[in-house]
Structure 1
Amino acid sequence: MTKKIILDCDPGHDDAVAIMLAAASNNIEILGITCVGGNSTLENTQLNALKICTLINRTDIKIYAGSNKPINYDLVTAAHVHGKSGLDTDGDPIIVDSSYKIQEENAVDFIINECHKYIDPIYLCPTGPLTNIALSLQKDPSIKEKIKEIVFMGGAALCIGNITPSAEFNIYVDPHAANIVLKSGIPITMMGLDVTHKVNVNDEIIKNIKKNNNKSSKFFAELMNFYSRFHRQLYEIDESPLHDPCVIAYLIDETIFKGKLVNVQVEENSELTRGKTVVDWLGVTNRQPNCKVITEANANKFFDLLSNELSKLT
């Protein structure tokens, strides 16, 4: 059955791939894309969402602007990874038609209204800081009953962080929002660095997907050629983790991934460990499990899925 999703994101090169994967899949219906400040400012991320949907000829997808800052902290961005625009590449600029605009409705109100709109619960798929999701839950707690599952990219369970030694970027940016979501009681799946570093893009994969010879696959190659520079320098390897598409791939084919239901809490305030996802992997705290933490992925199946789906696009 087709899964109705709201893709909440901060595009972002890997967010762009997540959008393309969701748009291509027959198993996914995108109800809308909500944007948040994260990889870049909200002004940039919402424009980038318009650009991505324009490139793949999906201007039927409506884009909503959400929060431009975390709940309690100033916004931290990742221009060092994604460039000044948040979606820098060496390719030609994407021109958005003036008729394709950000919707007037705020992202938080859109999320709430969409949750109540359907008889069957929907999926929320955040691939950036969890601010929009947390604010929606605070504004209308009754939507909890209308959310089938929250599948988010963020956190680091058993591995090091990528913005500090202990924290993954999305959770670090808004740890308070992450805790609000994790304490909601909604079924939650966490696609953290443990698993996203199991699906690494290298030159061979980029070349093979580019062989699809359609505009979207060529755009994927442009995105990855820019995006991988930072990761190759940081990790000193010839490949780069592909974070955000894991969320969508999980919804399309859960068998690609393996994980464990555990308790997860987030450190909110410590200067040393702000944003750390404290994962009770061994159950030593006796805290109630609240999150399925994914740690394993079949990379071959993942990239076969990605290549096949991208080939369907323009």
Structure 2
Amino acid sequence: MEKIILDCDPGHDDAIAILLAAGNPTIDLLGITTVAGNQTIEKVTRNALAVCAAYGIEVPVARGAERPLVIPQMVADFVHGETGLDGPDLPPATFELDRRHAVDFIIDTVMSHEPKTVNLVPTGPFTNIALAIRKEPRIVERVKSVTVMGGAHTRGNITPGAEFNIYVDPEAAEAVFRADWDVTMVGLDLTHQALATSELQDRVRAVGGPISKFVLDLWAFIGSTYESNWEFAAPPVHDACCVAALIDPAVFTVAKADVRVELHGEWTKGMTVVNFQDAPGMHHDAGSAAKQTDFRTNVAMTLEWPRFADQIVDALTYLTEK
């Protein structure tokens, strides 16, 4: 069983990630921490609490960073709407927040468990994780893995070169990629393969019940957004891919790379610069720049979509029948 802390900014795909983590018996969801990103910290925290309250997910929820480390805050209301979770009707957020700040919750949880047993899963901006590293550097050697939704090696979605989670707090992202721990980058190149196709939606509809309706309402809203803004035939389920990999690592392939975040470029700020270990023409022993290359990030490459779809359906079925 994999122990995880889901650090998120719900967000439609974050909500699916919560349901997948809570609905798979091989995942021990230790807690949910929130970070400003898709919407303000107040709104994403309310959304996390509401999803947990609606579907009986009894885990601690801790509110985290309300702004990036350095740059001004930016939210994705143009994608996720005014609430951050537009589309479905959710009940009031009746669960109480954990009294700790998300950064302290992360530190306390990692330090109180055996070394190399807690996985961090940031699916929003990486602000909380970077702050936790700064406040308690010992977590780096104790964390088992960090599986992040962010970045890409071929494209952006908020600018031509940058993915949203990295762009809105690039300094935090660079801190996470540079820390000496096991990082897997689940970027747009992978998540754009994880589409909520009509086939998957039909399977979810067949599950029935309020959770099925909630997920279909999520996809209806975000699907129209992706169709109008980016001409997608079906919406990507970005964040759930990170949880899916901890359920079954075979759900996608990875390639080793050195990942750096561009912090200063006028046109490329927030871009993840990905140097693959097996890139043709690279001479890793030639020159000082090559010697400083650090091929330790796993970059997600190709998705086994049927495995992923099965995980989503199985989790929703489990939660519905529970």
Q: After superposition, where does 1:157-196 map in structure 2 within 5 Å?
A: 157=153, 159-196=154-191
Percent identity of paired positions between Structure 1 and Structure 2: 40
User: Which one-letter code corresponds to 1:47 in the other structure?
Assistant: R
| d(CA) in 2 for partners of 1:120, 1:237 | 42
1:200 pairs with 186, 195, 200, which one?
195
Write the deviation string for residues 174-196 of structure 1: whole angstroms up to 9, x where unpaired: 10001101110100001000100
- Report the equivalent of 2:130: 134
- Report the equivalent of 2:64: 66
2:272 pairs with 277, 289, 313, which one?
277
| d(CA) in 2 for partners of 1:204, 1:143 | 41
| d(CA) in 1 for partners of 2:175, 2:80 | 27
2:114 pairs with 107, 119, 132, which one?
119
Secondary structure of 2:138 counterpart:
helix
| d(CA) in 1 for partners of 2:314, 2:217 | 18
**Distance apart, 1:168 and its partner CA:** 0.4
Structure 1 runs of 4+ with >4 Å offset: none
| d(CA) in 2 for partners of 1:93, 1:62 | 19
**Cα pair 1:214 1:313 within 8 Å, conserved:** no
| d(CA) in 2 for partners of 1:84, 1:278 | 32
- Report the equivalent of 1:245: 240
Q: After superposition, where does 1:1-314 map in structure 2 within 5 Å?
A: 2-58=1-57, 60-89=58-87, 91-97=88-94, 100-121=95-116, 122-157=118-153, 159-281=154-276, 282=279, 283=282, 285-286=290-291, 287-314=293-320
**Cα pair 2:23 2:319 within 8 Å, conserved:** yes
Secondary structure of 2:204 counterpart:
helix
User: Which one-letter code corresponds to 1:302 in the other structure?
Assistant: F
Aligned pairs, number: 308
User: Which one-letter code corresponds to 1:27 in the other structure?
Assistant: T
| d(CA) in 1 for partners of 2:143, 2:90 | 37
Secondary structure of 1:141 counterpart:
coil
Question: What root-mean-square deviation, in Å, do the aligned CA atoms of Structure 1 and Structure 2 show?
Answer: 1.2
| d(CA) in 1 for partners of 2:89, 2:114 | 43
**Cα pair 1:187 1:290 within 8 Å, conserved:** yes
| d(CA) in 1 for partners of 2:266, 2:191 | 26
| d(CA) in 1 for partners of 2:198, 2:72 | 36
| d(CA) in 2 for partners of 1:164, 1:112 | 33
Secondary structure of 1:240 counterpart:
coil
| d(CA) in 2 for partners of 1:211, 1:88 | 23
TM-score (norm 1): 0.95
User: Which one-letter code corresponds to 2:56 in the other structure?
Assistant: N
In terms of mean alpha carbon deviation, does 235-244 or 118-127 score higher?
235-244
**Distance apart, 1:101 and its partner CA:** 1.5
**Cα pair 2:47 2:93 within 8 Å, conserved:** no
**Cα pair 1:166 1:276 within 8 Å, conserved:** yes
**Distance apart, 1:56 and its partner CA:** 1.1
User: Which one-letter code corresponds to 1:200 in the other structure?
Assistant: L
**Cα pair 1:214 1:311 within 8 Å, conserved:** no
**Distance apart, 1:234 and its partner CA:** 2.5
User: Which one-letter code corresponds to 2:216 in the other structure?
Assistant: A
| d(CA) in 2 for partners of 1:72, 1:96 | 31
Secondary structure of 1:31 counterpart:
strand
User: Which one-letter code corresponds to 2:61 in the other structure?
Assistant: I
| d(CA) in 1 for partners of 2:90, 2:252 | 35
**Distance apart, 1:74 and its partner CA:** 1.0
TM-score (norm 2): 0.93
